[in-house]
Structure 1
Amino acid sequence: MYKASANLLIACSFLWLTACSSAGVVTEDLIPTDYVNPFIGASTSVGAAGVYHGLGKTFPGATTPYGMVQVSPNTITGGDNGSGYSDEHKTIEGFAFTQMSGVGWFGDLGNFLVMPTTGKLQKIAGKEDGSIKGYRSAYDKATEIAKAGYYSVELTDYKIKVESSATPHCGILQFTFPSSEQSRIQIDLARRVGGTSTSQYVKVLDDHTIQGWMKCTPDGGGWGNGEGNSDYTVYYYAQFSKPLSNYGFWSADIPDDWVRKRDEVVSIPYLTRVSQAPVIKDKKELEGKHLGFFTEFPTKEGEEVEMKVGISFVDMEGAANNFKQEIASKNFAQVKQEANDLWNQELSRVRISGGTDDEKTVFYTSLYHTMIDPRIYTDVDGRYIGGDKKIHEQDGTFIKRTIFSGWDVFRSQFPLQAMINPHLVSDALNSLITMADQSGREYYERWELLNSYSGCMIGNPALSVLADAYMKGIRTYDVEKAYQYAVNTSAKFGNDLLGYTPEPLSISYTLEYAYADWCVAQLAKALGKEEDAKLFYEKGQAYHNMFDVEKGWFRPRNADGSWKAWPENALTEEWYGCIESNAYQQGWFVPHDVPGMVELMGGKEKVIANLTNLFDHTPSDMLWNNYYNHANEPVHFVPFLFNQLDVPWYTQKWTRYICKNAYANKVEGIVGNEDVGQMSAWYILAASGIHPSCPGNTRMEITSPVFDKVEFKLDSKYHQGKVFTIIAHNNNTNNLYIQKALLNGKEYNKCYLDFAEIAAGGTLELFMGDKPNTKWGVLSNI
């Protein structure tokens, strides 16, 4: 297999994330990183959210676009805290080098937890309430700073300032210590969000460097508290600016029969066992079940100490090589500046003008959040761990990526990337295809994390991403193999046996599978597979089998064909035939056949009235509710249904309302879990004035832009044009209705575009007013 030359890899070391392609030059009038606030969404609080899912669950620490490494503060290990951080916590237990972004299901990663301390050595973080003492520290919220590629805070217990930054494969911490005879950097090698690594290794290489690994298995909890099947090893190569003249280890003897998952590792017996671990100072390397490492040294007031770390998921040599290629010769200031430059390069793929400063901040922070995943899983030398858990070498066609939150991201995140970063979509598809191939499973996973088939959520979302990419000209993968795996996926997970999927959760399953089968039909038709296209089109009609004509709505169905009992509040009862939603919300999910859905529901006028009722009953704070619940994905296409019902002014009204009320420049500024870029991608597209209503076809709905001008830079390898621009004339908070439109200077009366018109480049001009124009965009007037 082809292996890229060392010179090429060095030259592209910072451009792995963009396939060495340029996103354009940032002009002087707007610097995107000035409008990035990583604190937006950085809360897991169920109290603030009013529901068990919590809020955004993003992390505020430093990373690079789609980077492997995230150096972020962690405030909590247990609970449903996937990012490891929540703003309402008053203490920090350390700074980890890997983090997930915006996820529920207990989370994972949070590995290699580093904490600077002074005084007596503590081997556990302890409890925030002080009931169990440990090395965690209170921090001064007023000193906390988060920017694109940079984070800093002052730990008040130790009077230590901590700063972090990152390269794609490496992280750096800079500590400013007080005067102390016993300053320290300590590393909890066992630590993992939602559990623990089950075994670790550390070796002192020389008087400045350590290396080793941390093995994370389902036995140690993590993703889904072990149910997510994540099984990975993090390798590290760490270098300290202070000599390792006084260092040591601690190793806790964890009994073989102890459960080591989310709740257990923060229990009193477990913490007591770790706190009693002996300190070991007469060795240079150690392997164990729960290891820690520390190095102690005297410091002067204001003395700066750096720690640089290379990370790899391949092997220790990979971590060392990543370190040497990307960060070995650089100081903190240089790494910080280069991270900022990388973010400006990527964020400049979309340029905006107009809007308030807060709206600009919400926009570019949203774009920032869409550029964290799917992250690179490939080392700088092109090696990666495949679906067979073996080492593979990149063949030059794609970069292996990981974290595919399929059920979420097929809706907005991947359609956005198809516009602004099609190579990323190609990478993600190649990663899923090779994973299915190498694992021997030959079907797609719906929620992939570090090669795990986690089974998280429902449906067959990879089929949507595949069909949408193909229809939009992204075809740089083995199309026939991709298609066969799509067919296999539908056969393994679908409505084939009964023509629907029975209880439990029968509405959600059946409707999601029906849509995915329609996606396969589109792909089959495009590939000239007419018989398959007909078969999968019919399978896409399975949603009919869940509609109870007597009740006039979708209803849960049992395996014997009978309907599940219809409660008094059937439409709004959460979990009644649905996952994380209710029948009123999930029932609108027939994006591939809106005319058929409308006919079932009693005709256009009845559907418009029902949709209007859905929105009219939605609370203004947009938090979790029984109506239009923007905090979760099932309803994300619903505002765009009005366009297809010949009342496009309602799409314009409600998307502007959602952009204003569901997003804000504050910690609580994302009303639900960020979900690996989906919540933010919805905002980017809707606030720009376009959004898909059914990935897998090329129709893009036109709606009311938040901004006066939005420019999408296009990739010449995939698109014909260079830039697609949307201009909103006379745009303001009152003038939210489209009066007329021009496409490339010619009058345009449709409320949608074909993706080909975007890919060709050009300009869509929208003329705004304060009252609906009931003639523009209506089918009968076209």
Structure 2
Amino acid sequence: MIFTTKEVKTMMGKKVRWSYYLRAICIGALGAQMVGHVFGQSERHPSPASFVNPMIGASTSVGEAGIYHGLGKTFPGATTPYGMVQVSPNTITGGDNGSGYSDEHTSIEGFAFTQMSGIGWYGDLGNFLVMPTTGPLQSFSSTLEHPEKGYRSMYTKSSEKAAVAYYSVFLGKYKVKAEMTAAAHSGMLRFTYPENKSSRIQIDLARRVGGTSTKQYVEVVDDHSIQGWMRCSPDGGGWGNGDGKADYTVYFYASFSKPLKDYGVWSANIPDTANRKRDAVTSDYYQKWLEDAKRISKPASYEGKHLGFYTDFETKEGEQVFMKAGISFVSMQGAKRNLQTEMKDWDFDGLHQRAVDSWNQALNKIKVQGGSLEQKTVFYTALYHTMIDPRIVTDVDGQYMGGDDKAHKATGFNKRTIFSGWDVFRSQMPLQTIINPGLVNDMITSLITLAQESGHNYLPRWELLNAYSGCMIGNPAVSMIADAYVKGIRNYDVQKAYQYALGTVKKFDNGKQGYTPGGLSISLTLEYAYADYCMSVLANALGHPAMAKLYAHKAMDYKNIFDPEKGWFRPRNEDGSWQDWPAKGRLVQNYGTIESNPYQQGWFVPQDVDGMIQLMGGTEKVKTDLESFFEKTPKNFMWNDYYNHANEPVHHVPFLFNRLGAPWLTQKWTRRICADAYHNRVDGLVGNEDVGQMSAWYVLAAAGLHPICPGDPRYEITSPVFNRIALHLTQPFASGQSFTIIARNNSPQNIYIQSAKLNGNPYNKAYLMHADIVKGGTLELVMGAVPNKNWGLEK
């Protein structure tokens, strides 16, 4: 996740309003029951989709929660597994609000057809913003502080319902109920209007989270349909306020259930020299330009710098009016084809049911038994959140926009996007190697084709719609490829994968001196050393012994920033000297690190845990230090200087106890984290969701497995939350049908593993290999309230 120094200073220590928590608790209590009613599921045999509560994490809460990096930053709207379209409410354009929605906001701008999930850095997408309105036409949204001035509307919180592939809310300003559902490439809205002679659907074609699209086009196709496009360049802000280099065009084809009789566009006169980025777009003077936009009645087509489209009609009390739209990142023809393939009629409920069915099929990859309603809701919502990205960007005919800005045809794979590398290599992609190996294969192929089409000889570390955003650090794509390859996921161009991985580690590494100097010396040196290990694994597997030896040696570069005098990792200068050691030492945030302190980042030597332990003073000293690291962590696991579960650098750390000969401490702390850092509430995630990573950690840990070192096909065993977890396996990536973990005598008190059997045979290792899982079988654990300090010690 990403935050700024200003946010750190501004938000540290602010108090949480009780009203916020009270609402969060109410949502938690009602979540699973509500979605069950929406789907019509019986309480006796609920489907996995009925446990999903999309409101979990749907809050930025920079001011409300007192957390300077925000909370989950997820969106509550309708989508399908890894779908291109997400139809979701948007409450804000500016600020560090990646999903465009935050629960504590009391008004809604409209309902967009594209969203990002769980990210900071100001966000992107949020395109094609639709709003049902009545009365005089407004051409600007106005602000959270003054919703009455623009087209945004206050809404009744109690009316808000979010479930799998469904969202609805009552807009108080217009007395309109808005409902939405989705297919993979398209979405449908159902609006229930009051009696009004001037009802309307209006679409802000310029709107974009964190900025604006810089040019738009719309044309009327027939008396029920329009099509067009929205150009989104870095000049319009967006991802990283333009620094993320997001550069894409969204094409749309939309149809209305009522004929286009009284329609038009509004067009704001934005000066050629105007700043189009986030702060400008949300400023008073920019909003005034939008308010003064000219109206053009019934144009056949129109192009401009800030366009909106509207269609007016008369409605009776309770009349339902529908709108549906297909989205494409390739062409208007692609958008039309996407819509007409997926939505041949106006059957909202039928479309919704098909989307629910697709979610049940996807969520059935893992079946759990036992646990409380809260735990099942948290689990299946977490699994749901891992199935939003990396999303498809291929149209229904296989067309996708390549890194060369040309249309290509995907053959044998789905082109995918939003690879939040630094976050997801740790838990999200390893989870998918088990339950969705084909997706991992797609993602690798997508990055290979991007490197080839763009002319780069390296892989992006954070990719969004073909952009090499440069966000965060390390070489996470190399980790993903190595991890996939050693697990037998290889249906991509292996030689090109090797070529581009090698190009990546050559471009970004610790150099001849064996460390990276400067302000991020610790984080960069450790992350590059790990990526070099992954390169050595890949080179060795593909028969390149010299390269394997070179990168195995470079993987030890982490030792070059360990200061024996301080007994910890310390940033170095270009000339090899140590940077000044601060009074608080390794507890100082951002001292040689990114989004962490040296105490947190220093545990990141997954490729050589034994060597790290020796460097730090041996097993007992390290175990004592690590126990203190956890004991000093606040019970709620919010952002802190110790085990900071709210951010990724420490996500492997609870499992290090398995390598220290104390697996019962891994069991103790993972169960504690699962219980106290994840809840069925709006504030149920202690940090940014980060495109599936925060949730994937929970899914794996709650199932009783998690890797320390992706690239090594080993998973650490820990204490499962549930009594039975069945992982559905996928052929040809697995020879077995399923792998089941059974925890006998499991309870909130019985969290310690007493003994284990693997496929009926006694098992005394605190880990499993990927091969053990994919051939199918059963791991049976006997649980107890007191640690068995003799179990799990076999090497």
Could you tell me the TM-score, scaled by structure 1's length?
0.96
* 1:311 has 2:353 as partner: no
Give the structure 2 partner of residue 65 of structure 1: 81
Q: Does 1:95 align with 2:111?
A: yes
In the other structure, the counterpart of 2:639 is 624
Is 1:534–2:528 an aligned residue pair?
no
Following the alignment from structure 1 to structure 2, what is the Cα–Cα distance between the partners of residues 498 and 266?
A: 46
1:405 counterpart (386, 400, 420): 420
Q: Matched residue of 1:491: which SS? A: helix
| Residues 328-727 of structure 1: pairs in structure 2 closer than 5 A | 328-395=344-411, 397-727=412-742
State the one-letter code of the partner of 1:571.
R
Deviation per CA, 1:312-345: give whole Å up to 9, x if none.
Answer: 0000000011011111334111111111010001
**For residue 166 of structure 2, what is the amino acid of its counterpart?**
Y
Of 192, 213, 230, the residue aligned with 1:176 is 192
Candidates 223, 239, 242, aligned match of 2:255: 239
Q: Which amino acid in 1 is paired with 2:95? A: G
**1:234-260, Cα deviation, whole Å (9 max, x unpaired):** 000000001110001110110011101
Following superposition, the deviation at residue 510 of structure 1 comes to: 0.5
Percent of matched pairs sharing the same residue: 64
Alpha-carbon contact 1:49-1:624 (below 8 Å) kept: no
**Deviation per residue, 1:518-555 (Å, 9 max, x gap):** 00111111112111111000010010011001100000
Is 1:50–1:623's contact at 8 Å kept on the other side of the alignment? no
- The answer to whether 1:774 aligns with 2:793 is no
CA contact (8 A) 2:147 2:153 kept: no
Larger displacement relative to structure 2 (46-55 or 417-426): 46-55
Partner SS for 2:605 = coil
Paired with 1:172 and 1:479, the residues of 2 have a C-alpha distance of 40
Q: Which runs of 4+ in 1 moved over 4 A?
A: none
2:450 match: secondary structure: helix
Pair 1:321-2:370 in alignment: no
Q: Judging changes above 3 Å, is the alpha-carbon distance between structure 1 residues 51 and 570 closer, same or farther for their aligned structure 2 residues?
A: farther
Tell me if the contact between 2:262 and 2:298 (Cα under 8 Å) persists in the aligned partners: no
Question: In the alignment, residue 637 of structure 1 is paired with which amino acid?
Answer: H
- C-alpha distance 27-685 of structure 1, shift in aligned 2 (>3 A): farther
Q: 1-side partners of 2:639 and 2:107: how far apart?
A: 28
Report the residue type matching 1:347 in the other structure: L
Equivalent pair of 1:556/1:563 in contact (CA under 8 Å):
yes
* Partner SS state of residue 517, structure 2: coil
Query: Retained in 2: the 8 A contact 1:48–1:55?
Result: no
CA distance in 2, matches of 1:246, 1:480: 58
Matched, 1:35 2:35: no
CA apart distance, 1:29: 3.4
Alpha-carbon distance in structure 1 between the residues aligned to 2:587 and 2:262: 63
2:72 to 42, 45, 56: 56
Local SS of the residue matching 1:425? helix
Would you say how many aligned residue pairs link Structure 1 and Structure 2? 754
Deviation at 1:27, TM superposition (A): 13
Does structure 1 residue 284 correspond to structure 2 residue 300? yes
2:39 is matched with none
* Cα displacement (A) at 1:729: 0.2
Preserved CA contact (<8 Å) 1:708 1:728: yes
For residue 498 of structure 1, report the CA deviation from its aligned partner: 2.1
TM superposition shift of 1:481 = 1.0
Aligned to 2:91: 75
Once residues 387 and 496 of structure 1 are traced to their aligned partners in structure 2, the CA distance between those partners, rounded to angstroms, is 29
CA contact (8 A) 2:322 2:346 kept: no
Describe how 1:115-134 pairs up with structure 2 within 5 A.
115-130=131-146, 133-134=149-150
Paired with 1:346 and 1:600, the residues of 2 have a C-alpha distance of 44
What is residue 5 of structure 1 aligned with on the other side?
Answer: none
Q: Distance in 2 between matches of 1:216 and 1:46?
A: 26
> Per-residue deviation at 1:220?
0.1
Q: Deviations over 1:757-778 (max 9, x none)?
A: 0011000000000000000001
2:130 to 83, 91, 114: 114
For residue 141 of structure 2, what is the amino acid of its counterpart?
A: A
Match of 2:157 in 1: 141
| In 2: Cα distance, 1:139 partner to 1:308 partner | 23
2: CA distance, partners of 1:50 / 1:754: 41
- 1:272 equivalent in alignment to 2:288: yes
Cα distance in 2 for residues equivalent to 1:498 and 1:661? 43
Matching residue's letter, 1:172: M
Say which SS state the counterpart of residue 528 (structure 2) adopts: helix
Instruction: Give the secondary-structure state (helix, strand or coil) at the position aligned to 1:47.
Output: coil
**Per-residue Cα deviation, 1:193-225 (whole angstroms, up to 9, x for no partner):** 000000000001111100000000000000000
Q: Alpha carbons of 1:96 and 1:712: their partners in 2 closer, same or farther (altered >3 Å)?
A: same
| Residue of structure 1 equivalent to 2:21 | none
Q: Distance in 2 between matches of 1:451 and 1:428?
A: 12
Amino acid at match of 1:765: E
CA apart distance, 1:408: 0.3
Pair 1:210 & 2:221 matched: no
Q: CA deviation at 1:275?
A: 0.4
2:438 alignment partner, SS class: helix
The aligned amino acid for 2:229 is W
Q: Distance in 2 between matches of 1:443 and 1:28?
A: 52
Please state whether the residue corresponding to 1:263 is helix, strand or coil. Answer: helix
Distance of 1:394 and 1:620 partners within structure 2: 48
For structure 1, the residue ranges without an aligned partner over 5 or more in a row are 1-25
Residue pair 2:226, 2:254 contacting (<8 A) in 1 also: yes
Change (3 A) 1:282 1:238: closer
Once the 2 structures are TM-superposed, how far is the Cα of residue 496 of structure 1 from its aligned partner? Answer: 2.0
Q: For the Cα contact (< 8 Å) 2:72–2:688, is it kept in 1?
A: yes
Deviation at 1:130, TM superposition (A): 1.5
**Structure 2 residue aligned with 1:12:** none
Name the Cα RMSD after superposition. 1.1
> For 1:105 and 1:497, how far apart are their aligned partners in 2?
33
* In structure 2, C-alpha distance between the alignment counterparts of 1:101 and 1:427, rounded to whole Å: 20
CA distance in 1, matches of 2:527, 2:144: 42
What is the Cα deviation at residue 132 of structure 1?
7.0
Alignment of 1:155-170 (within 5 A): 155-170=171-186
Indicate if the aligned counterparts of 1:310 and 1:320 stay in contact, CA closer than 8 A. yes
Cα distance, 1:282 vs structure 2: 4.3
- Give the Cα separation in 2 of the matches to 1:417 and 1:293: 41
- Give the conservation status (yes or no) of the 8 Å contact 2:64–2:104: no
2:107 touches 2:147 (CA, 8 Å); kept in 1? Answer: no
- CA 1:761–1:131 in 2, change beyond 3 Å: closer, same or farther? closer
- Looking at structure 2, the residues matched to 125 and 103 of structure 1 have their Cα atoms a distance apart, in angstroms, of 23
Q: Which amino acid aligns with 1:630?
A: H
1:480 CA displacement: 1.0
**Alignment deviations for residues 341-369 of structure 1 (CA, whole Å, 9 cap, x no partner):** 10001000000000000100000000000
Q: Deviations over 1:22-59 (max 9, x none)?
A: xxxx9983400110000000000123543321000000
Are the aligned partners of 1:507 and 1:577 in contact in 2 as well (CA < 8 Å)? yes
Aligned residues of 1:49 and 1:672 also touching (Cα < 8 A): no
Deviation string for 1:452-471 (max 9, x for gaps)?
Answer: 00000000000100000000
